Amino acid sequence: MGDDEKRQHHRFMALLEVRALPGDRIPADLRLATLDIAAGGARCASNRPLDAGLTFTLVGGDLRKPATIDVEAIVLRCFEKPASIESRRYEAALRFTRIEAEDKQRLMRYLNTL
């Protein structure tokens, strides 16, 4: 079964700067940017490794200014990409575990513009 067959939501290529709110096991200098995003999760580039199972709150970037979204996410997997630049050294797959209805609608409207 291919990745597209397993996914509930279509993923869209989108480079959005996002930030994780401070918390346990969240590196203070963590920088994240989406590589692709869907209603149910995102694939992100990161400057720091993230442990699988780590949960945190993300504040998502420029969804047609000034809109942002808040989501809780869990890291499904993270791996190093040694050939990448330092700010994009790691790639993490995230699943959204909580997103308010208004934020989900805002995200869906943004995705429909891509």
Spatial contact of 85 and 53, defined as CB atoms under 8 Å apart: no
Q: Number of C-alpha atoms within 13 angstroms, CB side, residue 28? A: 0
DSSP state at residue 45: E
Domain extents for the chain? 3-111
Q: Which of 48, 50, 47 is nearest to 87 (CA)?
A: 47
- pLDDT of 50 > 70? The answer is yes
Looking at domain 3-111, its CATH class is mainly beta
Residue 109 pLDDT level (bands cut at 50, 70, 90): confident
Predicted TM-score of the model (pTM): 0.85
> Span 18-35, mean pLDDT?
88
